[in-house]
Amino acid sequence: MSDYHCLDIEFPNIDFTPYSVDSKTEISKIHHAHLYTKDNKITLKIFYDDHTFFGEKLMDWSRKIDCGKFGSFLKVEVTKNYTNERLQRVDLSEARLIGAKNSTANYENGKKYIIIEIDTVKFYWDPIEDKQNTAEFYLDEKGFRVVEAFYSFLSPKSWFKNDGNFKIGRMTNSSQYYNLGKSKFRPEYNFIPKDNRKESIATITKEPKIQFKYKKEINEVEAIFYGDIILMLASFYYHIKIDYFIRKIYLPKETITIKNIEKKDYFDTKGNLWGFGINWDFNELLQSSWQKETLTNFNLLSKAVTLFNQSLLVDNSSAFLIRYNIIEICGKTCENDSTWNFTLKDGELDNFFTNMRESISNIIESKEQDHFNKKWNSIENIIKSKSLRKQLEDSLTKNGINIETLPIRTSKIVQLRNNITHGSLDKVNIEDLRKINILLYRISGILILNLMGIKDWKLDTEIK
């Protein structure tokens, strides 16, 4: 069986003529390509006629685009004479360009080729009947911490006889599936036995995964969405970005496989909910009532959790600004939270500010009135906006945090924000920054929990 997939690739909206080597030779619209997905790499070997200089032009063009949108420029079809009949189509639309390699030695069967490295690919296969309405989402190396809490250890099925049978037991209260929308899920291990009859040792490799079961009306978008929710939840709990490297979704009409590059280099951190007054393990978190609010607030939560984990990887000043930003993101329930609550209705308020602008403009010299009127919108916004301290206090109060019990005054927090933002670092007290960072770590985590619908937190106001 071939170790690659045959594709026909087109760049329908790209004119490669002006790039790199000036050549009047017409460049083919469609290029044959081989797609490889192995050894934690996803590569495209794109073939072309040497005299067209397409490889050089593609290299030049790739340096001038947003690499994250590389896949959006492609139109991909499975080659018609390709022999794998189960493969329906291939989707590279979300692929990010990682790298490109072009060499004078890159020839195969008389054709020149360029090698493109990308980070993701999606395959659509014919359905597998006995697996329909299920999915297996395989976690990266960091995902072991998600699954390990649900299992004990590998042991013989019977301690009284050596029959070669083994089992691995699940921990107490961790065997059930957890409900989420049109699905239910649970963390599991996938076991891969390896043996060589010439060796005395056989091995069993464990792969962490999230096992899903779906209702019949599930679709691809929902299946991916539910998987993303579990990733977000786990990434927040463990304070580190956890990813899937393979997702296998078995639907009635098709089987979908999504392959991602597994990131091996990362700064490891250890996390839990203890800093927010909750001594749950991950199983206990999944047993809590988080589903409804998390489904509703997922977009906001996804952004906040990404920032939360980022704040653990940067210097103290950057961490402070990120955590302050999380409070701004999570603390507002509507756009009007940053403005004063006026007693006038919208139309009346507009008339009020129009009259104010005209009154002030009339007492300004005529030659400067145009400049004043152009600045009025920004002046009006300043008048309408609450002070940063008031915004901060409102955000905290709405989230059940008693500002009177805080060990650090909100005015001091806002002043630190202003000093760092405006570059007045000589005014920043390092010890104050350390203590405020500890407090904002706790507060930002609590606000994220609130968005999940989890109210079991307790704010520790003691900072040593």
Same domain, 232 and 280: yes
Flag whether 283 is in a domain.
yes
What are the distances in angstroms from CA 151 to CA 73, 144, 154, 175, 176?
A: 45, 11, 9, 9, 13
Q: Along the 464 residues of the chain, how does pLDDT read in single tens digits?
A: 578 999 999 999 998 888 887 667 788 889 999 999 988 999 999 999 988 889 999 999 999 999 999 999 999 999 988 777 889 999 999 999 999 999 888 999 889 999 999 999 999 999 999 999 999 999 999 999 999 888 877 666 666 666 666 677 777 777 789 999 999 999 999 888 788 888 888 788 889 999 999 998 899 999 999 999 999 999 999 999 999 999 999 999 999 999 999 888 778 888 999 999 999 999 999 999 999 999 999 999 999 999 999 999 999 999 999 999 999 988 765 455 677 677 777 787 778 878 888 888 888 888 888 888 888 788 777 776 766 788 898 889 999 999 999 999 999 999 999 999 888 888 899 999 999 999 999 999 999 999 999 999 999 999 98
Q: What phi, psi does 128 have (nearest 5°)?
A: -110, 110
Provide the number of structural domains found in the chain: 4
Query: Does residue 446 share a domain with residue 324?
Result: yes
Residue 464 belongs to some domain of the structure? no
Pure H helices in 3-53: none
| 463 in any annotated domain | no
**What are the DSSP E strand ranges found in 235-275?**
244-250, 255-260
Any domain includes 456: no
pLDDT, position 156: 64
Same-domain check for residues 155 and 198: yes
Q: Do 272 and 187 share a domain, yes or no?
A: yes
114 and 140 housed in the same domain:
no
The reply to whether 56 falls in a domain is yes
**DSSP at 385:** B
Q: What are phi and psi of 317, to 5 degrees?
A: -65, -45
Provide φ and ψ at 421, rounded to 5°.
-60, -40
Same domain, 380 and 399: no
Residues 34, 104 within the same domain? yes
Is 460 among the domain residues? no
Give the residue from 453, 444, 449, 458 showing the smallest Cα distance to 405: 458
Strand extents, DSSP E, 58-133: 75-78, 87-91, 97-101, 107-108, 111-118, 120-125
- CATH number, domain of 55, equals 2.30.110
Measured between alpha carbons, how far is 242 from 325 in angstroms, rounded to an integer? 22
Beta bridge partners of 89: 124
Structural domain contains residue 369: yes
Distance CA 37, CA 90 (A): 13
b/e 64-100 (16+ beta carbons within 10 angstroms → b): eeeeeebbebbebebeeeeeeeebeebbbebbebeeb
Residue 457 in any domain: the answer is no
> For 355, phi and psi rounded to 5 degrees?
-65, -35
379, 392: one domain: no
Residue 384's pLDDT is 67
From 287, 317, 351, give the residue that closes a domain.
Answer: 287
Among 104, 122, 140, the domain boundary falls at 122
The residue segments making up the domain with residue 373 are 341-384
Verify that 270 and 156 share a domain, yes or no: yes
Q: Are residues 378 and 399 in the same domain?
A: no
333 and 350 co-located in one domain: no
Q: How far, in Å, CA of 304 to CA of 276, rounded?
A: 16
C-alpha 83/C-alpha 87 separation (Å) is 9
Final residue in a domain of this structure, among 103, 122, 141: 122
Q: Are residues 205 and 263 in the same domain?
A: yes
Torsion of CA 234, 240, 245, 250, to 10 degrees: 10
